[in-house]
């Protein structure tokens, strides 16, 4: 009898010991959980103070015909996002509503969906993604999210691709329209979320296995709706072809890129433009580093620079000014955003040369200091003016108050030339100033697996 009782107790003990998956699913790391849900909050507030450099188009000319004095501009911008991301085996979906605006703005800013997409991924590396997506490729010079801008950039696209064994190949397809039923306008598209009517992009990247070298090839075909009233439903196509290379030996990081634009713009003008960039970064230790680089962007010939209050008319047959398309513009060409964020008069550009040096230093955990100098000049020749635009100094500091809270500040000072004053109508004796202070809070407020 006692032997039978002992056997029953032993069997029961073994059974209950072997059943942790039923009673202890959450604590057993061997249990595969197929579903994951993460919810992240982003709050960003940035105050800016700017003096000079960006003209007031509505009040350009004073009574005497000269430029009006430029007043200091002070404002605070804000952004709030709620990122909801779901994953299950081969399926991933994301929704990111956002609100952006200036403090005190009429209408209380803008609310929209920054991202909303679904992605299917196969085991062999193939994937398909559809919806509104924040695209980011290489150093973001041509295609990037432009996260410095409060609204940032996202695109309504179908993205197909393959990633595996060092290879990445993406195909991006987009078709934009003003409404689902455009009865009166036919297929005409204007003033939408993105300036293009259609866009097809091919991107290929390869990481070499034995050397720290990565290289990318990019081709874009962008269809722009005609601005000619007699041919409103005509789409003109402009193309971009180029490459980006990054080499990362010990303590060094070398980057180089070249892009060529051709085709026609929305006014059916022929395009023939190009750009190149090089950059070298040296990091002797993890806490400090130095960098130097040079950017060249081609400009339009016979660029018109009339005196203030006068019109300058030049007949252009070919567009030589390079367009930076949909990149993260604030990362390049000077932090004050005088170039390729704000435009020149009549839509043409004299191009840009940007030679810079700088460095960063981390004196303690969480604190990062940056400083850089930029020599800025135009790429084309202007009659009666020097090519030099000015000399810009930049200083930035950021400190992590907590794991998901960061305080950052920056200041820039530019000594502009007569060329800068004529092109931008700075009207303030060529001393241009800008300072900013920001607070970003990015907590993960919910995460679960089941």
Helix (H, G, I), strand (E, B) or coil at 315: coil
The arithmetic mean of pLDDT across residues 120-132, rounded, is 97
The arithmetic mean of pLDDT across residues 84-105, rounded, is 96
The arithmetic mean of pLDDT across residues 345-366, rounded, is 91
| CA distance linking residue 378 with residue 380, whole number of Å | 6
Beta pairing class for 270-285 and 318-319? parallel
> Is the separation of the CB atoms in 392 and 401 below 8 Å?
no
Confidence of residue 395 (pLDDT cuts 50, 70, 90): very high
Cα distances (angstroms) measured from residue 277 to each of 7, 159, 299, 372: 79, 28, 15, 17
- Check whether 437 has a pLDDT greater than 50: yes
The arithmetic mean of pLDDT across residues 114-131, rounded, is 97
- What tokens does 390 get? 């000015």
- What pLDDT digit, counting tens, does each position of 263-313 carry? 998 888 899 999 999 999 999 999 999 999 999 999 988 776 655 544 455
- What pLDDT digit, counting tens, does each position of 315-324 carry? 678 999 999 9
* Residue 423 parent element (H or E): helix 418-424
Mean pLDDT is lowest, of 5-9, 14-18, 288-292, for 14-18
> Is the separation of the CB atoms in 96 and 112 below 8 Å?
no
The arithmetic mean of pLDDT across residues 249-268, rounded, is 95
Q: Is the dihedral of CA 55, 114, 48, 104 positive or negative?
A: positive
pLDDT value for 9 = 45
10 Å CB burial of residue 17 (0-12, 13-18, 19+) is: exposed
pLDDT value for 315 = 67
Q: Which long-range contacts (CB under 8 A, 24 or more apart) does 149-153 make?
A: 149/330, 150/44, 150/46, 150/77, 150/78, 150/79, 150/100, 150/101, 151/79, 151/98, 151/100, 151/110, 151/112, 151/114, 152/114, 153/326, 153/328
The arithmetic mean of pLDDT across residues 130-154, rounded, is 96
- What pLDDT digit, counting tens, does each position of 202-243 carry? 999 999 999 999 999 999 999 998 877 667 778 999 999 999
The DSSP result for 13-77, as a single string, is HHHHHT-HHHH-GGG-TTS---EEEEEEEEEEEEEEEEESSS--GGG-B-TTSSBPPPPPEEEEE
pLDDT value for 25 = 44
10 Å CB burial of residue 276 (0-12, 13-18, 19+) is: middle
List the one residue out of 323, 319, 326, 324 whose CA is nearest residue 302.
Answer: 319
pLDDT value for 167 = 97
Kindly give, in sequence order, each residue whose CB lies less than 8 Å from that of residue 187, ignoring residues fewer than 6 positions away: 177, 233
| SS3 letters across 88-151 | ECCEEEEEEEEEEEECCCHHHCEEEEEEEEEEEECCCCEEEEEEEECCCCCCCCCECCCCCCCC
């Amino acid at each position: 009898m006692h032997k039978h009782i002992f056997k029953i107790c032993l069997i029961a003990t073994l059974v209950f010991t072997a059943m942790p998956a039923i009673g202890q699913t959450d604590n057993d790391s061997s249990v595969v959980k197929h579903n994951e849900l993460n919810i992240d909050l982003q709050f960003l507030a940035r105050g800016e103070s700017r003096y000079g450099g960006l003209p007031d188009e509505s009040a350009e000319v004073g009574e005497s015909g000269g430029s009006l004095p430029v007043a200091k501009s002070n404002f605070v911008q804000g952004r709030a996002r709620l990122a909801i991301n779901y994953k299950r085996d081969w399926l991933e979906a994301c929704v990111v509503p956002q609100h952006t605006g200036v403090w005190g703005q009429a209408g209380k800013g803008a609310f929209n969906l920054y991202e909303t997409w679904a992605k299917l991924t196969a085991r062999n590396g193939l994937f398909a993604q559809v919806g509104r997506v924040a695209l980011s490729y290489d150093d973001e010079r041509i295609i990037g999210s432009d996260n410095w801008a409060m609204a940032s950039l996202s695109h309504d696209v179908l993205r197909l691709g393959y990633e595996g064994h060092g290879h990445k190949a993406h195909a991006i397809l987009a078709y934009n329209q003003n409404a689902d039923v455009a009865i009166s306008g036919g297929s005409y598209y204007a003033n939408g979320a993105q300036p293009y009517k259609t866009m097809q992009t091919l991107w290929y990247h390869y990481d070499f296995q034995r050397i720290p070298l990565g290289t990318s090839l990019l081709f874009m075909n962008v269809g722009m709706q005609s601005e000619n009233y007699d041919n409103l439903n005509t789409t003109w196509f402009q193309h971009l072809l180029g490459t980006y290379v990054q080499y990362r030996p010990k303590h060094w990081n070398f980057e180089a890129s070249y892009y060529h634009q051709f085709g026609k713009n929305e006014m059916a003008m022929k395009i023939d433009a190009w750009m190149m960039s090089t950059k070298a970064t040296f990091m002797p230790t993890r806490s400090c580093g130095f960098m130097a680089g040079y950017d060249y962007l081609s400009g339009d010939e016979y660029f018109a620079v009339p005196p203030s209050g006068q019109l300058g008319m030049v007949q252009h047959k070919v567009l030589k000014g390079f367009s930076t398309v949909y990149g993260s513009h604030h990362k390049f060409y000077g932090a004050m955003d005088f170039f390729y964020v704000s435009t020149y008069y009549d839509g043409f550009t004299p191009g840009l040369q940007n030679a810079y040096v700088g460095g960063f230093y981390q004196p303690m955990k969480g604190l990062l200091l940056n400083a850089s100098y930029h020599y800025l000049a135009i790429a084309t020749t202007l009659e009666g003016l020097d090519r030099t635009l000015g000399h810009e100094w930049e200083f930035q500091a950021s400190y992590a108050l907590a794991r998901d809270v960061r305080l950052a500040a920056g200041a820039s000072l530019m000594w502009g030339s007569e060329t800068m004053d004529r092109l931008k109508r700075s009207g303030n004796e060529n001393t241009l100033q800008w300072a900013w202070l920001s607070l970003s809070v990015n907590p993960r407020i919910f995460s679960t697996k089941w």
